[in-house]
Amino acid sequence: PAVEAARIRLAKEAGKKIMELLQNNVRPRDIITEASLSNAIAVDMALGCSTNTVLHLTAIAHEAGISLNLDRFDEIGRKTPHLCDMCPAGPHFLQDLNEAGGIPSVMAELTKLGLLNLEAITSTGYSAGENIRGRKILRHDVIRTIDNPYHPVGGIAIMRGNLAPDGCVVKQSAVLPEMMVFSGSAKVFNSEEDATDAIITHQIKKGDVVVIRYEGPKGGPGMREMLTPTSAIVGMELDSHVALITDGRFSGGTRGAAIGHISPEAAEGGPIALIQNGDTINIDIHNRTIDVVVSPEEMAERRKQWKQPKPKVTVGVLARYAAQVTSGSMGAVLR
């Protein structure tokens, strides 16, 4: 936690450990393996997760030459229990988690279900199993046991449908029970700012689905966090009545029925680019589906009329990035 003096000591130890690993010829690709990535996904699922986990780990795996797709996240998430209810979705903070035994205690609990590869080498130079040997939960109100989880499944869910053929992500641990299945009328915006303005000026009503598009890796460019509109929905007390979907991403502090990383993104001509105000959007997080109620014939006609917007940036690094970046489902890595 930020208030702990141990952070400074750990920072110094990290520098020493890097030099030690280098001297022992242990390289990042020795540590970043399929096993260690799977461990990371399982631990984050147990913590309640951030949707950014999908972006970061997919991109790291790509750099390491390891295949990691959305299906793997969903596979692990379906069998990993949610053990920690962390802020903002829950009442506990990192200070509480630290007092309860921290990440090693969470990992030790997950081993009871065989969810971790204990042989995976870690940045300590030891295996995951060696790192957590003898660790126990010190506060059961913060870290629950596998037979008493907050939820039987992990923090995030991967969804697909005619609105997101390549997938999208929701932090289901932060979604209210009454919003897990939702059907609403689309209110479409082509930027975060326009959506935020509509929310705070009371243009969004109960039963709406706020659609924010052209905020993906290519359309942004850069895939901004949609924290302001999601916070505004909560602040306006609409989080039990309104959903938000976007090809952009979210902060780890987001809560509510906020579905992001919709792929393909709007700037690449994904179905989200074809949604119109008033379209009915069906969301079923339990069954991992997200669909717009529009016939294939109508969608095909809309596609004929769609024109790709001009790039927001035409020179410099951002322009080159926008031209080469992939959608969120692939980690927003460069082609």
| CATH number of the domain bearing residue 307 | 3.50.30.80
Task: Please report whether residue 107 resides in a domain.
Answer: yes
Q: Indicate which residue of 251, 263, 327, 329 is catalytic.
A: 251
> What integer pLDDT is reported at residue 58 of this predicted model?
97
Task: Please report whether residue 141 resides in a domain.
Answer: no
Could you tell me which residues come within 8 angstroms of residue 119 by beta carbon, excluding any fewer than 6 positions away?
A: 35, 127, 128, 129
Using DSSP's 3-state secondary structure scheme, residue 334 falls into strand
Average pLDDT over residues 254-265: 94
Residues 256 and 316 in one domain: yes
Domain enclosing residue 170, as ranges:
157-330
> What integer pLDDT is reported at residue 167 of this predicted model?
98
Query: What's the rounded Cα separation, in Å, for the pair 304 and 313?
Result: 25
Residues 111 and 250 in one domain: no
Residues 307 and 229 in one domain: yes
> What integer pLDDT is reported at residue 16 of this predicted model?
96
Whether 281 and 163 have beta carbons less than 8 Å apart is answered as yes
Residues 110 and 207 in one domain: no
Q: Are strands 164-170 and 157-161 parallel, antiparallel or unpaired?
A: antiparallel
Q: Is residue 252 scored above 80 in pLDDT?
A: no
Average pLDDT over residues 262-280: 98
> What integer pLDDT is reported at residue 174 of this predicted model?
92
Average pLDDT over residues 309-321: 93
Residue 221 parent element (H or E): none
Q: Which is more confident, 116 or 89?
A: 116
Task: Please report whether residue 152 resides in a domain.
Answer: no
> What integer pLDDT is reported at residue 89 of this predicted model?
82
Residues 127 and 161 in one domain: no
Residue 33 burial class via C-beta count within 10 angstroms: exposed 0-12, middle 13-18, buried 19 and up: middle
Amino acid residing at 12: K
Last residue of a domain, one of 99, 132, 165: 132
Using DSSP's 3-state secondary structure scheme, residue 250 falls into coil
Amino acid residing at 293: V
Task: Please report whether residue 139 resides in a domain.
Answer: no
Q: Is residue 51 scored above 80 in pLDDT?
A: yes
> What integer pLDDT is reported at residue 251 of this predicted model?
82
Which pTM does this prediction carry?
0.93
Q: Is residue 114 scored above 90 in pLDDT?
A: yes
Domain count, the chain: 2
Residues 27 and 127 in one domain: yes
> What integer pLDDT is reported at residue 232 of this predicted model?
95
> What integer pLDDT is reported at residue 254 of this predicted model?
79
Backbone Cα Rg of the chain: 21
Average pLDDT over residues 250-270: 92
Residues 179 and 74 in one domain: no
Report residue 255's pLDDT band, with 50, 70 and 90 as the boundaries: confident
Using DSSP's 3-state secondary structure scheme, residue 8 falls into helix
Task: Please report whether residue 147 resides in a domain.
Answer: no
Active site residue 251: yes
Residues 128 and 220 in one domain: no
Report residue 3's pLDDT band, with 50, 70 and 90 as the boundaries: confident
Residues 314 and 183 in one domain: yes
Q: Is residue 113 scored above 90 in pLDDT?
A: yes
Last residue of a domain, one of 115, 132, 149: 132
Task: Please report whether residue 85 resides in a domain.
Answer: yes
Q: Which is more confident, 50 or 287?
A: 287
Residues 108 and 224 in one domain: no
> What integer pLDDT is reported at residue 4 of this predicted model?
82
Report residue 253's pLDDT band, with 50, 70 and 90 as the boundaries: confident
